[in-house]
């Protein structure tokens, strides 16, 4: 079964080389250790990536939950600086998601 899946990917790449190249470049923008905002609006650290655009990450707010995942192409993943990630953690502790929304509106 794994053999069939790999052939499917090869055929897809051959049919859509430009799209594949754009996706591959986008995946390379998020190496291990990158700080991101995931689809739950949590600041997270990328711990692993996959060739299909899956990012495996640990939330900075709830690290005890373990490793979660987001899709680079289907979720609204944003890169964060260290200062932005720390500010988001503080905002979540003080006022929750409403405080984070206000913080995002203040950004230029």
Q: Structure pTM?
A: 0.72
Position 95 in a domain: no
Total domains in the fold of the chain: 1
Domain extent, residue 51, equals 2-80
Q: What is the mean pLDDT of residues 76-99?
A: 83
Cα distance between residue 15 and residue 43, in whole Å: 36
Q: What is the mean pLDDT of residues 82-88?
A: 88
pLDDT confidence of residue 1: 45
Q: Which tens digits make up the pLDDT trace of 36-46?
A: 988 888 899 99
pLDDT confidence of residue 103: 66
Position 91 in a domain: no
Query: pLDDT at residue 68 above 60?
Result: yes
**Which residues is 71 bridged to in the sheet?**
54
DSSP SS3 for 68: strand
Query: pLDDT at residue 18 above 90?
Result: no
- Between the CA atoms of 75, 76, 77 and 83, what dihedral angle is there, to the nearest 10 degrees? -150
């Amino acid at each position: 079964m794994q053999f069939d899946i790999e052939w499917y990917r090869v055929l897809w790449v051959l049919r859509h080389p430009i799209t594949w190249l754009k996706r591959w470049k986008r995946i390379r923008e998020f190496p291990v250790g990158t700080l991101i905002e995931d689809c739950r609006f949590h600041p997270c650290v990328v711990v692993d990536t996959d060739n299909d655009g899956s990012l495996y990450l640990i939330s900075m707010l709830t690290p005890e939950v373990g490793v979660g995942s987001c899709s680079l192409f289907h979720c609204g993943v944003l890169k964060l600086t260290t200062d932005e990630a720390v500010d988001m953690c503080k905002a979540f502790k003080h006022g929750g998601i409403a405080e984070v929304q206000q913080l995002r509106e203040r950004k230029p």
